[in-house]
Structure 1
Amino acid sequence: MYLLIPGRHHLLTDFQFKYLNRLIKCSLEGEKDASGHILATTPIEGVIFAVTSANHLGTKRNPVPFYLRAMIIQEFSNSLDVPAYVYGIDDVGVIHDFAEYTIKTIRHSSEGAHALTPENTVVICSTSVREMYMQRGFRILTAEWDTTANAYTQPMPWDLVHLIAQTGDWRKNKTVLEQLHPAAFKIWSLYGVGEKVQQILKDPIIGADGDLTATRDYNVYVKQMDDIAALKYRETAPYIQPGNIGDIGCAVGSWIKMGCEDDRLHECDFYGIEVSRHLYDICLQRKHNGEFANPSVFFSQKNAVTSLVFEPGSMNTIHTSSLTHEIESYGSRKDLISFIQNRYQELVPGGVWINRDVVGPENRTETVLLWLNDQDGANDLPMPENHTTQTLAAWLGQLSTKALFHRFAQDFRHAEGYHLAHQWVTIGDTTYCQLSMQDACEFLFKKDYHDNWLSEMHETFCFWNFQDWKQALEEAGMRLDNLSHAYRNEWIVQNRLEGKVQLLRLNENEQPEAIPFPVSHMLLMARK
């Protein structure tokens, strides 16, 4: 008889060892299953650990990589009288019968050696997942769960993970020392797992599965990143200093891929940092496919806001693109300042941080008028019910510019509690929207992101202007290179703004007077 233990297994407890050891030593004698039936006395041939979410790491739901979890299990099992087998079960999203998927994966991974059935396997599971196995006829031992008391009577592994995350020196916490199995304590200490878990679980920005936002369509996003990769690289390449080159927020590695093809940089080492699990996985796949001409390319899934991601004083060039506004948007001003300070710490003296991103207008506090075209689309088209990302994008694309602004005013950073202050004024025969230049620019340079509207509505582009950035960088100890500049994206002006919107201010006669569209982007070269 086999014992199957499905779970994420980030750590193992002292109770789990004693429980398993008793089952093995006593051959299940007198044990009651979840239905209250006494199991037949049967020798145990082996224990099978099904490690779920094996393809996830560095996220709040799965902070510990699979290889460390497997090491803990093997160390834990050395004192058991039967062999232990470890099989990684990838996360595949929500499927109807994860138990069946787990059993099939084990059979495939073991090349048929472990074909688990209700006749040769007892499942140990204390969570609701046991229902899936019960439906397939497996007998269940509930371990920490007491079916009579309808409650947990022993510490759960994930509770200990949370305790460690909230404890300063977890190695001296009495509860941790009493409940954590020595094998888990050894691996967690040796590899600094506790400190990494504390960092990940306390992170205020990243979601449960390692993403900034849960509303982004990654198929669209990846295509957008690849489409503009050449532009990004051409714009930043002249300022790259050879040596150790890091790309933070590297998305799918497109900028690094082009750097690897640059003859000037063929002896450099490239380091890609990506917090999104989905994009990080793509980077690893591209490396596996041999898409990077330089073999010295390394990817890590880390959050560059809360800590350093490179060794202090080690980087000749750090590159970021379209990232810093997301830190302000999904985190806080404090997080953005920390991010800047971390980059300063990582650069060698004379090293450069190249930051390409959106930027606010110089006169962002000025009150302006905004003319909006109401003839270039529908004005009274009802919003689709139970919309998907695709149907919402299609609906937004049918609206007039004025109707689109009405939607924007309702949605923009609504979840963050922001209220877009504006009013409608009529001068002569024309109606304008009166608002701040900052809010006007938020709309101008965000209004056409229909494919990721829900995600974009969380993001602010214009919180700082170029001078604000200069001041913040200098306060962190950096010097802004004279080649740094803010600029206006003329393609956006010609293709998305002209004929649809117009910025105006009142002249000395209180009459609207058209003003040029302001800057929208910046290229900063900050040197240590």
Structure 2
Amino acid sequence: MYLLFPGRHHLLTKYQKEYLLKLVRHGLSETLDLFGNPLGISNPPIAIIFAITSANHNNTRRNPLSLYQRAMMIQDFSKELELPSYVIPIDDIGQSPNFASYTLKKIEVETELKLSLSPENTVVLCSTPVANLYLKLGFKILPVEKVPGPKLEFFAKLPWEELEDIVLKRKQSNRNGVGFGEIHNSENTKPSSFGSGQSETYDQLDPASIRLWKDYGLFEKVDMLFSDTLIGDDGDLTESRDYNTYVREMDEIAELKYHETKPFVKPGRIGDIGCAVGSWIKLIGSEPNFLESDFYGVEIARHLYQICEQRKENGEFINPNVFFLRKNAVSGLVFPPLSMNTIHTSSLTHEIESYGGRDQLLSFLKNRYEELVLGGVWINRDVVGPEGKEKEVFVWMEEDSGTNHGRRPEEFPNFKEFLDSLSTKERFFQFQRDFRKEEGYVLRASRVFVDGIEYQRMKLGDICEYISKKDYTDNWESEMHESFCFWSFSEWKKNLESIGFRISPKSCEYRNEWLVQNRYEGKVKLFTSNKDNPVKAEELMPFDFPVTHMLMLAEK
């Protein structure tokens, strides 16, 4: 009988080793299945198949280890099992009721049809609800850590729980300034040193796990992944983004980014942090002046990183020296100090502020300064807030385009259609309710009438936030987290100069006239007044739409 052991396998435990050895040495006949009944199989185990799920994911909280690291650990772990062992990668296909059958087919394909697993020749080892998918296919289940029977009880912690414990105890030891071994020690453990000089013990882990995690610095890596508030469990900035829309938008504006930034790129080592699908690197890298340069694209979002790798494999980059890294540029340096001639970012820094907060943004700025060579340049293209963003303005918004007629969101097939049915003024009130509510922001606006016409009185920065986002109805939930106007151009310069950057006089702030002509005019009008409570139209003075974007050239 084959033993199929599916799982992510980022950690392997002593309990798992003992359980498998018992099956190998004593057979399957008397072993209790998931329901507490003797398995009654006389055929002995002939091989163990480790199906590594989420094999294409790594560098995230849910999946910290790469496939090759997991495979190395399993092979080391298997040396004592006295049976052949196979490691089969299983790509993530999301939440699917067919995941078990997909896994079986993938094993068959990966082994070139040599392993065809069925309920007649295979027993599945699984302690999680995934076991139900194999039960439906007729497989018998061995529960490993789970106590057989209906109760949700376990003989030992699951590997993922062990990992969370390690992270928690490392946080405590770092916070208390003492070695991990001083907090967690027993007669059955041997203290080992892991990177930071602390004496740490992991008494439930199999030695194969400890060896790999120590040699590859993985304990320190999970410290970073679990302490990072910027990215989600699967390694993305936001879980609400529609990536099909996002990728299309990134490709559409790549030419604009390219022409706007090309004159300021310095040859040598060139990094593009937040490179999306690699379009900027593709365009810059095709320039004759940069054919001798090395390009490094950095992307934390798994979906986009995979697209970059695929484009490289497809031969879309003329320059052969193009490399992609899946790293977080906030929590540490991406490149070695004093190594980069040019660093490029586009539409990234506002996301760091929005999802990570001010401390992480300042950390990001300092990291870029450290990475540049003397004379190097960081080209930062992004949205920007207006000067005087705290100034009060009076805002007229059109209200004739709505087709909603008082219907609620649940009366529409989706939220986008509900938003699209609202006039500019109606959509503003939805924005006022939604904008950064999870972050605790309160957008204050009051209604005033001047010569019988209704206006909203609010801060200039707040109306700029609204008009910059009001038309993103297909990504509304994601956009409601994002702040565009946290710093004005002068505030950006001040913060960069405080770190040590010199701001090139060629840096500029500007207004996207396409947005003004196609999104703002006829929808919104801005006014100021010398009166606290204007009542006549002549007491209002038209106020032009302010800047929307900046090109900041920060030199070292």
Please give the range of the TM-score, normalised by the shorter of the 2 chains: over 0.9
Q: Which moved more, 1:510-519 or 1:171-180?
A: 171-180
Residues 386 and 476 (structure 1 numbering): CA distance in 2 closer, same or farther, change over 3 Å? farther
Determine the structure 2 residue equivalent to 1:451: 474
> Which consecutive unaligned segments of at least 5 residues does structure 2 have?
181-191
The alignment partner of 1:187 has SS state of: helix
Q: Distance in 2 between matches of 1:362 and 1:206?
A: 30
Deviations 1:36-85, CA, capped at 9 Å, x for gaps: 22233332211000000011111221111111101111111122211110
What does residue 78 of structure 2 align with? 77
Match of 2:160 among 158, 161, 186: 158
Return the match for 1:496 from 511, 514, 519.
519
Say which SS state the counterpart of residue 406 (structure 1) adopts: helix
Give the aligned partner of residue 321 of structure 2: 296
Name 2:464's counterpart in structure 1: 441
Match of 1:23 in 2: 23
1:164·1:198 contact (CA, 8 Å) conserved in 2?
no
Check the 8 A contact 1:379/1:402 in 2, yes or no.
no
In structure 2, what is the equivalent of residue 368 of structure 1?
393
Summarize the Cα distance change of 1:414–1:386 in structure 2 as closer, same or farther, 3 Å threshold: farther
The match for 2:495 is 472
- The equivalent residue for 2:548 is 520
Pairwise mapping of residues 44-193 of structure 1 onto structure 2 (< 5 A)?
A: 44-147=45-148, 150-166=152-168, 167=170, 168=174, 171-172=192-193, 176-193=201-218
The 5 A counterparts of 1:187-202 are: 187-202=212-227
Counterpart residue number, 1:351 = 376
Distance 2:473 2:440 in 1: 22
User: Hey, what's the Cα distance between the residues in 2 that align with 1:25 and 1:263?
Assistant: 66
- Contact between 2:32 and 2:142, CA under 8 Å: does it hold in 1? yes
In 1: Cα distance, 2:481 partner to 2:348 partner? 14
Q: What letter corresponds to residue 135 of structure 1 in structure 2?
A: K
**Is residue 2:427 matched to residue 1:399?**
no
Cα displacement (A) at 1:213: 1.3
Q: Report what 1:316 is aligned to.
A: 341
CA distance in structure 2 between the partners assigned to 1:5 and 1:517 by the alignment = 61
Distance 1:67 1:86 in 2: 10
**2: CA distance, partners of 1:47 / 1:392:** 48
Secondary structure at the residue paired with 1:241?
coil
CA distance in 1, matches of 2:105, 2:330: 40
CA deviation vs aligned residue, 1:173-230 (integer Å, no higher than 9, x gap): 8884321111111111111122112211221121111111121111111110000000
Query: Which amino acid is the alignment partner of residue 38 of structure 1?
Result: P
One-letter amino acid of the structure 1 residue matched with residue 248 of structure 2: K
Moved more, 171-180 or 475-484: 171-180
User: RMSD across aligned C-alpha pairs, in angstroms?
Assistant: 1.8
Aligned residue number for residue 186 of structure 2: none
* Contact 1:165–1:202 under 8 Å retained in 2: no
- SS in structure 2 at match of 1:308: coil
TM-score, with normalisation over the residues of structure 1? Answer: 0.96
State the alpha-carbon separation in 1 of the partners of residues 159 and 201 from structure 2. Answer: 11
One-letter amino acid of the structure 1 residue matched with residue 156 of structure 2: Q
Deviation at 1:382, TM superposition (A): 1.9
SS in 1 for 2:319: coil
Q: Which amino acid aligns with 2:33?
A: D
- Structure 1 residues 51, 386: closer, same or farther in 2, change over 3 A? farther
Measured in 2, the distance between the counterparts of 1:318 and 1:304 equals 12
8 Å contact 2:270–2:342 — kept in the other structure? yes
- Distance, in Å, in 1 between the alignment partners of 2:432 and 2:513 is 25
**How far off its partner does 1:100 sit?**
1.2
Deviations 1:326-363 (A, max 9, x none): 11111111111111111111111111111000000001
Contact 1:315–1:351 (Cα < 8 Å) also in 2: yes
1:212 aligns with 2:240: no
Deviation, 1:384, is 3.3
Instruction: Quote the offset at 1:377 in angstroms.
Output: 3.2
Q: Secondary structure at the match of 1:330?
A: helix
1:380 counterpart = 2:400:
no
For 2:544, the aligned partner's letter is P
One-letter identity of the residue aligned with 2:500: G
Q: What residue number does 1:37 align with?
A: 37
> Quick check: 1:265 aligned with 2:321?
no
Cα separation, partners in 2 of 1:478 and 1:492, compared to 1, 3 Å: same
1:436-455 CA distance string (max 9 Å, x none): 01101111211111221111
Which whole-Å CA distance do the structure 1 matches of 2:62 and 2:305 have between them?
Answer: 16
Specify the code of the residue in structure 2 equivalent to 1:438: G
Match in the other structure for 2:189? none
Moved over 6 A (4+): none
Change (3 A) 1:402 1:150: closer
1:226 equivalent to 2:251? Answer yes
CA distance in 2, matches of 1:479, 1:455: 34
Secondary structure of residue in 2 paired with 1:307? coil
- Structure 2 equivalent of residue 335 of structure 1: 360
- 1:113-145 per-residue CA deviation (whole Å, 9 max, x = no partner) reads 111111111111111211221222211111111
Label 1:387 to 1:196 Cα distance change in 2 as closer, same or farther (>3 A). Answer: farther
The counterpart of 1:422, out of the listed 440, 445, 450, is 445
Q: Distance in 2 between matches of 1:405 and 1:384?
A: 15
Go from structure 1 to structure 2 and tell me whether the alpha carbon gap of 1:386 and 1:431 turns closer, same or farther (over 3 Å shift).
closer
- How many residue pairs get aligned? The number is 526
- 1:399 Cα offset (Å): 2.3
Kept after mapping to 1: 8 A contact 2:277/2:307: yes
> Secondary structure of 1:86's partner?
strand
Which segment is superposed worse, 146-155 or 132-141?
146-155
Residue 187 of structure 2 corresponds to none
Deviations 1:301-345 (A, max 9, x none): 111111111111111111110011111111111111111111111
CA distance in 2, matches of 1:3, 1:147: 18
Q: Secondary structure, in 3 states, of the residue corresponding to 1:354?
A: strand
Q: Note if contact 2:93-2:99 (Cα within 8 Å) is conserved in structure 1.
A: no
Checking the alignment, whether the CA contact within 8 Å between 1:376 and 1:400 is kept in structure 2 is yes
